[in-house]
Amino acid sequence: MKAVMYIDAVFTVGSVDRRLFGSFVEHLGRSVYTGIYEPGHFTADSKGMREDVIDLVRELNVPIVRYPGGNFVSGYRWEDGIGPVENRPARLDLAWRTMEPNEVGIDEFMHWAEKVGTEPLMAVNLGTRGIDAARSLIEYCNLPGGTYWSNLRRQNGHADPYSIKTWCLGNEMDGPWQLGHKCASDYGKLAAETGKVMKLVDPSIELVSCGSSKFIMPTFPSWECETLEYTYDIADYISMHDYFGNWDGNTPEYLALNLEMDSFIQTVKAACDYVKAKKRSPKTMYICFDEWNIWFHNKLEDKRRMKKNILPAGTPLLEEHYTHEDAILIGELLITLLKNADRVKIACIAQLVNVIAPIIAEKGGKAWRQTIFFPFQQVSCFGRGKVMLPAIESPTYKSERFGDVPYIEAIGVVDEDEGHLTVFAVNRSLNDDIDFQIETRGFGKCRLSFRTEMISDDLKAENSADSEKVRPIMIHEMRSEGRTFDFRLKKASWNMIRFDLS
């Protein structure tokens, strides 16, 4: 079988916003407690933050991290997490039925974010709280001083404002499981008024209006159309969330699920543009895909455990161990986000550490890279620049849900400043290697710089603290020069091919 990819210098999708490779830390399971934070751990800094985890997060090159939830934020009192730790109250978090000790709050998270070299995507509680809590939080975070809340931040040892740029107006407010779940018009009104007040405190911020929490929500896409009636003028982005899983063990169908993500994005774009037209607005609403990942391995078991007892802080929840086939799908989902880079400006793989995460931090032990770490890391580090319009001729297979699915999924990104063209490609075939030709046009001569592939004989292979079985390996071949290049993509593989441009 043979596939051809044409990359023409003239045809681009748009520029990649660096925030497309964001992630998420929620007060949930071991994401914070024994994840990013474990005082007494052999790598902990003076504030209890694990340096081994920080090193791995830096490897991922994550420019923005959503915090503090997720479902957690919809019951959160942010004031519980500031000031002397010994005075902070323990609270019952009802989203995950877990005790929250409030040892980590906004100031500790900002210390961590600064060390990592990332910016926060801060969420406000529009479930059990509203305008007043949001305005005091932004005053605490973004004003230099001279007001009650900004002076309190200074008293707490943080003289400079955090100047947090991007804020989520609540989380998954369309979901009946959400504390303070609302109908579209109630959410739209509250979000618009909260956003208005937040922008009065700091006009330089950007806001994310809540979109649908899943593609299969019964209220999708009317939720988008109705809420944007209220929030279109005040918000800069609408959020999207989606999680994928190989629920019935049908891997060819599973590996087509990035097409669901694509169709979800196309519909959200259409809903935004409908409201734009209705309002005669010159403004384009961008997308913040602030939760996406694979989540199915332990989902039902976790639900059962949460139903029973109140869990102590740092109880493992949502600890998915990812396989080789999961990593292939993550690669495809990243390709899909890149294909939509003109509209999707922020995206967060959910989450970052321990909870449905590329990084596992063993309590008192090592931190290590799951299989999905690698495609994310490669795209985050090398997928910066301009996305090229993909034109691919590929053999296909039949999917029950998606019809004809191409075996090859690929995208090219050009970094004009550094002079590189990088192609990311997946071969979805479980049985056949496929010849893959890349024909470049309008770049002059290109030179193959290097190529990596991630393969495995076992689709269910996982990594562990002691063994990184699944990871990309460098393919050593002639550094040929020209316009057309021939490769062979192994079955069920994730590939990166990098060229130098002359």
Catalytic residue positions? 172, 291
Here the tokens at position 203 are 């006009």
Q: Quick one: residue 436, left, alpha or beta (phi over 0 = left, psi -120 to 50 = alpha)?
A: beta
Here the tokens at position 379 are 């795209």
Site for ligand AHR in 429-488 (CB under 6 A): none
Burial of 418 per CB tally in 10 Å (0-12, 13-18, 19+)? exposed
Task: For ligand AHR, give the closer residue by CB, 241 or 324.
Answer: 241
Site for ligand AHR in 39-98 (CB under 6 A): 69-71
Spatial distance between the Cα atoms of 151 and 377, rounded to a whole number of angstroms: 39
Alpha helices in 319-451 (DSSP H): 324-339, 373-382
- Contact status: 26 vs ligand AHR (CB under 6 A): yes
Which letter does DSSP use for residue 283 in this model? P
Nearest-approach distance from CB 171 to ligand AHR, in angstroms: 5
Nearest-approach distance from CB 64 to ligand AHR, in angstroms: 16
Q: β-strands 119-124, 166-169: how paired?
A: parallel
Nearest-approach distance from CB 12 to ligand AHR, in angstroms: 33
Residue 367 sits at φ, ψ, to 5 deg, of -110, 140
101 close to 313: Cβ distance less than 8 angstroms? yes
Nearest-approach distance from CB 295 to ligand AHR, in angstroms: 7
Task: For ligand AHR, give the closer residue by CB, 354 or 495.
Answer: 354
Task: For ligand AHR, give the closer residue by CB, 139 or 172.
Answer: 172
> In sequence order, what DSSP letters do the residues of 292-343 get, joined into one string?
EEE--SSHHHHHHHHHHSPBPTT---S----BHHHHHHHHHHHHHHHHTTTT
Task: For ligand AHR, give the closer residue by CB, 74 or 246.
Answer: 74
Block residue for tokens 């550490």: 353
Task: For ligand AHR, give the closer residue by CB, 210 or 421.
Answer: 210
Nearest-approach distance from CB 99 to ligand AHR, in angstroms: 17
Cα 36 to chain center, whole Å?
Answer: 17
Measured CA angle at 162 (ends 159, 167), to 5 deg:
155
Task: For ligand AHR, give the closer residue by CB, 26 or 332.
Answer: 26
72 close to 174: Cβ distance less than 8 angstroms? no
49 close to 112: Cβ distance less than 8 angstroms? yes
Binding letters toward ligand AHR, positions 202-241, x by CB under 6 A: -----------x---------------------------x
Task: For ligand AHR, give the closer residue by CB, 150 or 370.
Answer: 370
Figure out which of the listed residues 119, 172, 224, 326 binds ligand AHR, where binding follows CB under 6 A: 172
Closest-by-Cβ residue to ligand AHR is: 70
Burial of 449 per CB tally in 10 Å (0-12, 13-18, 19+)? middle
Task: For ligand AHR, give the closer residue by CB, 31 or 394.
Answer: 31
Nearest-approach distance from CB 499 to ligand AHR, in angstroms: 37
Nearest-approach distance from CB 356 to ligand AHR, in angstroms: 6
Distance, first Cα to last Cα, the chain: 31
Q: Is the dihedral of CA 39, 44, 46, 51 positive or negative?
A: negative
Nearest-approach distance from CB 173 to ligand AHR, in angstroms: 10
Rg of the chain taking only CA atoms, in angstroms = 23
Residue 193: HSE in the Cβ half-sphere, 13 Å Cα cutoff: 11
Figure out which of the listed residues 171, 194, 340, 440 binds ligand AHR, where binding follows CB under 6 A: 171
Number of residues that bind ligand AHR (CB under 6 A): 11
Task: For ligand AHR, give the closer residue by CB, 121 or 411.
Answer: 121
* For residue 70, cis peptide bond before it (omega within 30 degrees of 0): yes
25 close to 352: Cβ distance less than 8 angstroms? yes
Which letter does DSSP use for residue 467 in this model? -
Cβ-proximal residues to 476 (8 Å cutoff; 6+ apart), any chain? none
Figure out which of the listed residues 79, 236, 291, 326 binds ligand AHR, where binding follows CB under 6 A: 291
Spatial distance between the Cα atoms of 454 and 132, rounded to a whole number of angstroms: 50
- Please report, as ranges, the residues that interact with ligand AHR according to CB under 6 A: 26, 69-71, 171-172, 213, 241, 291, 350-351
